């Protein structure tokens, strides 16, 4: 067989492979669109049902639980159904109640990953990502919704608190209070990704014992993670949110935690 014929055969195989890949991608996109359409139909049906029986859902706890279970059996978040209503006072209250439960759930399941402190920005990403099929309706949760829901949760106590670190709002779900030193350390780590004892000493003129005491407590509470490389004396203390970015999987571990 000539070299020319052999190369031509190779080109034919490559072309066929490309055609199969294109066909496969087309089928995947088609199936995804069909799934979105089906979910949209189910969602619209649930919204209509909720409008018709809204009073009974509100007044009857057992019926409310059953309705929530029906939503979840279709993979549809009850929060989405509540967000899709006409904006009446009772519907808005229901939406905030559902969002309050969602916030509490997210803070609980991500506590081991972030030490009990999560930025409102990351929280919103998680909640909106969990309802990806509803993106075309523009019913995404925004920070104002989260603040309303947190205010709603105050009746249950002060377990969830809003704190400000580096000019950004965070939700704290752990009982311990942050000292001024610790807040400053976290603010610095959010800007740079990490801090170290020499960095704190040079910038804030802190003694080593002051640096180490605060860093050790933040590490013990899961708010900073240690990175010590072989052959290097300096220990870096990384912000948990920056660790995800460095891995190239911003929010990936949070999303995996929510699915288990």
Domain boundary among 148, 167, 186: 167
- Same domain assignment for residues 120 and 35: yes
Domain boundary among 110, 144, 167: 167
Task: For residue 187, give its domain range.
Answer: 177-246
Q: Is residue 196 part of a domain?
A: yes
DSSP 174: S
What pLDDT is recorded for position 138? 45
Beta strands in the chain (DSSP E): 117-119, 161-165, 168-172, 194-195, 224-227, 236-239
Domain boundary among 113, 145, 167: 167
What pLDDT is recorded for position 206? 93
- Same domain assignment for residues 159 and 66: yes
The CATH number of residue 207's host domain is 1.10.10.10
Q: Which residues contact 254 (CB under 8 A, 6 or more apart)?
A: 106, 110, 113, 114, 118, 122, 126, 244
- Same domain assignment for residues 184 and 161: no
What pLDDT is recorded for position 213? 92
From first to last of the 260 residues of the chain, give the pLDDT tens digit: 544 544 454 455 556 556 656 666 666 666 666 666 666 666 667 667 767 766 776 677 776 677 777 776 666 666 555 555 555 545 677 677 778 878 888 888 888 778 888 889 888 888 887 654 444 444 577 888 888 888 877 766 677 888 888 788 888 887 777 888 988 998 888 888 889 999 999 999 999 999 999 999 888 888 888 877 776 778 889 887 766 555 445 444 555 555 55
Q: How many domains does the chain have?
A: 2
- Same domain assignment for residues 154 and 191: no
- Same domain assignment for residues 194 and 126: no
- Same domain assignment for residues 162 and 183: no
Q: Is residue 258 part of a domain?
A: no
The structure's pTM equals 0.54
- Same domain assignment for residues 213 and 241: yes
Q: Is residue 98 part of a domain?
A: yes
What pLDDT is recorded for position 129? 74
What pLDDT is recorded for position 111? 80
Q: How far apart are CA 129 and CA 122, in angstroms?
A: 10
| Nearest CA among 127, 121, 119, 73 for reference residue 100 | 127
């Amino acid at each position: 067989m000539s070299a020319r014929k052999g190369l031509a055969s190779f080109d034919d195989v490559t072309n066929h492979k490309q055609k199969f890949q294109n066909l496969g991608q087309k089928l995947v996109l088609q199936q995804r669109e069909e799934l979105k359409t089906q979910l949209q139909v189910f969602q619209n049906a649930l919204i209509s049902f909720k409008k018709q029986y809204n009073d009974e859902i509100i007044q009857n706890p057992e019926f409310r639980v059953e309705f929530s279970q029906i939503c979840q059996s279709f993979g549809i978040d009850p929060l989405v159904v509540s967000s899709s209503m006409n904006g009446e006072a009772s519907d808005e209250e229901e939406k905030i109640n559902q969002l309050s439960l969602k916030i509490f759930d997210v803070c609980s399941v991500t506590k081991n990953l972030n030490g009990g402190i999560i930025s409102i920005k990351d929280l919103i990403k998680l909640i909106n990502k969990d309802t990806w099929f509803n993106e075309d309706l523009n019913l995404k949760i925004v920070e104002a919704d989260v603040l309303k829901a947190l205010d709603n949760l105050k009746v249950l106590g002060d377990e969830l608190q809003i704190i400000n670190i580096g000019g950004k709002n965070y939700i704290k779900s752990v009982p311990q209070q942050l000292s001024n030193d610790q807040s400053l350390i976290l603010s610095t780590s959010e800007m740079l990704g990490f801090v170290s004892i020499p960095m704190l000493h040079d910038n804030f003129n802190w003694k080593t014992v002051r640096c180490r005491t605060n860093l050790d407590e933040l590490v013990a509470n899961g708010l900073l993670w240690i990175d010590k490389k072989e052959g290097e004396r300096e220990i870096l203390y990384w912000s948990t949110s920056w660790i995800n970015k460095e891995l190239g999987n911003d929010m990936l571990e949070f999303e995996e935690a929510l699915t288990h």
